Amino acid sequence: MYFGIMITMYDPEREDAIRAMMNVLPQEFTNALNFNLLDTSLIGFIASYLYGFLVIMFPMIFIIIVSNRMIAKHVDSGSMAYLLATPNDRKKIALTQVTFLVGSIFLLIVYITLMGIGLSEAFFPGSLDKKIFFDLNIGAFALHFAFGGIGFLASAFFNETKNSLALGGGIPIMFFLISTLANVGGKLENLKYGTILTFYKNSDILSQVDGIYFNFVLLFVLGLICYISGLVVFNKKDLSI
Amino acid sequence: MSIIEIQDLTKDYGNNKGVFDLNFSIEEGDIFGYLGPNGAGKTTTIRHLMGFLNPDKGSTRVLGFDARTQSEKIQKSVGYLPGEIAFFENMTGLEFLKFMAKMREMKDLSRMSQFVERLELDPKGRIRKMSKGMKQKVGLVCALMDDPKVLILDEPTSGLDPLMQNIFVEIVHEEKRRGKTILMSSHSFEEVGRTCNKVGIIKDGRMVAIEDIKTLQEAKSKVFHITFNNEEELRTFKNTYGEEIIVNNSTAKVKIRGNVGGLLKELSKCDIRDIESAHQSIEELFLHYYGGEKVD
């Protein structure tokens, strides 16, 4: 919903007003949160104010919560005993959960893509650079696919919700914080090597630098490794339920 | 093929916790009572049968399949009641039962409704708001509703009021008549005595005894306090009667196992003032095992 409102706020004429508003905040702050206006086109506007922070942050929280619910929560509470007291083996159950998680992420991205295009066409017909917009969303999917993988692996590995959330949530949040610090610039810039968010930079996608697709593939592969590891670990371990 | 086969099952959690070298099997039609103090290893054993745990050593087989690696083949024929109540949040009793029915690909829900009614369960309530006894009933219905060949019940009457416990006993008898095989862990000697034909006692992870109920019942000893008219009679009796007796003035305390008739025949030859009997119940028998001494 915020997404929709932000898009309609775009007004090329009012660029100065927006700049002025943003200038109230200290430069380091807007740098850190990746909230700087990159350029004044519609896609630039969208890339800056939505795909720098919000499209990263909000789905991430959703994914952290949901991925814990996939397995660890059931093992912790003991309800996994009932799921397994059916003619379904562990692989099937885990795979069903993965499908749900990835499917949710996919639907979320599809939704914001469609809404973005829809609203842009409605209010500013023809202005939106669709290729870049798709790139932003494909990349967002890859990023969240990876976050989901981390969350799922933690959920499959740990028997207690508290541990599953600590790592499944802690690691993505840590990545996010590191990228925030790296964005501040200066000496902290090298921190960008410590976070997977480096593979998803709205500025890179906006300017269509080489290698963005490669980065997406890296994120996707990371996610895949995590999902598969999670399945294997869950299939083998002891369950005190 | 035994319905349940446990061979050399060992799972060591350290500190002498776990199960060690368990060996027993349960045949079709057996109603097996699995008794033991808290922490003895009953639930650990059952978790192996359900495929939740990997044994350190040994194996468990149910219906011929390996319990750990082939558990999905077994589950359709097993009704399970976990020892700790653990349902899904936010469902009502009915939603849970219908969910499980779907997961088990059950077509016919009539048995479900029958048991719900019989156990006087109000399924429309939220599980979270249910009392322990109600939750236990939901679990019982879930285990019974798919008409499984094998029932694995971990403390099935925990939380049930005496009336419901009776109904449970009835249900077990019915399932027994229908040829089902049941493994139930329990703390209630009375219940096991009323329902089971075989009993296994586990203590500190090791099997202490496996007996037919009949054997145990015959092993139950009766103690008679017999007051003789005079010490002469008592001495005569003591000399002729083969079994052990403890003498106290003119009273003899005779402990016998099973053969009351023999004692009475002997006594009919004597002059007796009074006779009193004290039962050793199955409880006392079991408590001997729990306490570590064996009754021989």
Instruction: Give the distance from CA A90 to its chain's centroid.
Output: 28
Q: With an 8 Å Cβ cutoff, is A88 touching chain B? A: yes
A77: nearest CB among B52, B53, B86: B86
Q: pLDDT band at residue B293, thresholds of 50, 70 and 90?
A: very low
CA of B84 vs chain A CAs: smallest distance (Å): 8
- A23-37, A127-141, B238-252: range with lowest mean pLDDT: A23-37
State the virtual CA torsion across B143, B144, B147, B151 in degrees, nearest 10.
Answer: 60
d(Cα B283, Cα B285) in Å, to the nearest integer?
5
Distances in whole angstroms, Cα of residue A224 to Cα of each of A67, A150, B209: 15, 10, 51
Task: Write the Ramachandran bin of B140: left for phi over 0, alpha for psi from -120 to 50, otherwise beta.
Answer: alpha
- pLDDT tens string A179-193: 888 887 777 777 778
Tell me which of B45, B72, B76 to substitute to probe the interface with A (most A C-beta atoms closer than 10 Å): B72
Average pLDDT over residues B153-158: 93
For every residue of A96-138, DSSP letters joined together read HHHHHHHHHHHHHHHHHHHHHHHHHHHHSTT---HHHHHHHHH
Which residue reads 């990545």 in tokens? A175
Distances (CA, A) of B139 to A3, A10, B91: 46, 57, 13
Non-local CB neighbours of A102 within 8 Å, separated by 6+ positions: A145, A148, A227
Q: For chain A, what is the mean pLDDT?
A: 85
Chain A positions in Cβ-Cβ contact with residue B100 (cut-off 8 Å)? 82, 85-86
Task: Give the residue among A204, A74, A75 at the shortest CA–CA distance from A143.
Answer: A204
Q: Where are the domains of chain A?
A: 2-236
User: B84 to chain A: which residues are within 8 Å by CB?
Assistant: 78
CA pair distance B18, B73, nearest whole angstrom: 26
Residues with Cβ within 8 Å of residue A165, at least 6 apart in sequence: A64, A68, A72, A154
Inform me whether the C-beta atom of residue A89 falls under 8 Å from chain B C-beta atoms. Answer: yes
Least confident of A92-101, B33-42, B73-82, B182-191: B182-191
Pairwise pLDDT comparison (B48 vs A24), residue with the higher score:
B48
The partner residue sitting opposite B87, judged by closest CB among A79, A84, A87, is: A79
Which of the 8 DSSP states describes residue A48?
H
Q: List the B272-279 sheet strands across, edge first.
A: B245-248, B251-257, B221-228, B272-279
Mean pLDDT along residues B270-287: 72
H or E, element range at B286: helix B282-291
For chain B, domains (ranges, CATH) are 4-212 (3.40.50.300), 221-279 (3.30.70.790)
Give CA–CA dist B137/B133, Å, rounded.
Answer: 6
- The beta strand positions in chain B, using DSSP E, are 4-12, 18-26, 31-35, 57-62, 65-66, 78-81, 150-154, 181-186, 198-203, 206-212, 221-228, 245-248, 251-257, 272-279
Q: Do B72 and A241 touch (CB under 8 A)?
A: no
Q: Tell me: ipTM over 0.85.
A: no
**Chain A contact for B45 (CB, 8 A cutoff):** no
Cβ of A81 within 8 Å of Cβ of B89? The answer is no
Please tell me which of the candidates B54, B72, B85 has its beta carbon nearest to residue A89. Answer: B72
The reported pLDDT for the residue numbered B49 is 96
Q: How far is CA A154 from the centre of its chain?
A: 17
Q: Which residue from A79, A86, A238 is facing B75, i.e. has the nearest CB? A: A86
Single out the residue of B77, B153, B79, B152 nearest to residue B112, CA to CA.
Answer: B79
Q: What is the pLDDT of residue B213?
A: 85
Residues 127-146 of B with CB under 8 A from A: 142
B33 SS3 class: strand
